[in-house]
Amino acid sequence: MLASLALTLSLAASLQQAPCLSGHVLDVDRGRDYTLNICGVGVIALRGVEPPLRVANGFPSLGPNPPGAEPNLPISGEVLGSKDVGPQGVAYLRELLVGKRITVVDDGWRIGDPPGRRYAYAFQPDKTLVNAELIKRGYGYADRQGSHPKRDQFIAVEESARRQRVGVWAQ
């Protein structure tokens, strides 16, 4: 009886998740934004990078360029050529970040978002800016709506990704 109780307690202890470590990424996701769930911080959205939206019924959700917009530039969240690289972006983030410590530089609250939505820049220990890496690899677009401190840098990174035809820009 005692042996079975000890085995049950041991099994129950092994099934419990290890406590999270402050600053470590627990999970990543995407919706309107790529998001990171960080222990001790909560859920943040990556500032300045827009993931491609999911494709509904095999057709991309495209719309006309807003008046005055540069031609052939993606509308925020546009899926180019029915190519949704969002799942690969999430897989890349999971491999790169889950279980690892990152540094978050909070960008505050963006007006018009649901209460509690926070945007930030995420840095790896080697100072790599995760937001820019997603754009560099073609897993997202530079956010052209509004302004933020790294907007011009992200647009330049996107232009390079387009020239190199990576991710969403690949043919």
Q: Structurally, how many domains does the chain consist of?
A: 1
**Is there a domain that residue 64 lies in?**
yes
Query: Is the model's pLDDT at 3 over the cut of 70?
Result: no
pLDDT digit string, tens, across residues 64-105: 444 444 444 444 445 555 567 888 999 999 999 999 999 999
Asked if residue 36 lies in contact with residue 46, where contact means CB atoms within 8 angstroms, the answer is yes
Specify if 51 maps to a domain.
yes
- The distance from CA 147 to its chain's CA centroid, rounded to whole angstroms, is 18
Q: What is the CATH number of the domain that holds 156?
A: 2.40.50.90
CA 122/CA 150 separation, integer angstroms? 12
Classify residue 93: in a domain, yes or no. Answer: yes
Q: In terms of pTM, does the model score above 0.85? A: no
The single-letter DSSP state of residue 56 is B
In a domain, 9, yes or no: no
> Among residues of the chain, what percentage have pLDDT more than 70?
66
* Span 42-53, average pLDDT: 88
**Is 130 contained in some domain?**
yes
Q: Is 63 exposed, middle or buried (0-12, 13-18, 19+ CB in 10 A)?
A: exposed
Tokens of 64: 């006309």
Residue 10 is assigned to a structural domain of this protein:
no
Residue 2 belongs to some domain of the structure = no
Average confidence (pLDDT) over 12-20: 58
Give me the domain span that covers residue 104. Answer: 18-169
Residue 27 counted as domain residue: yes
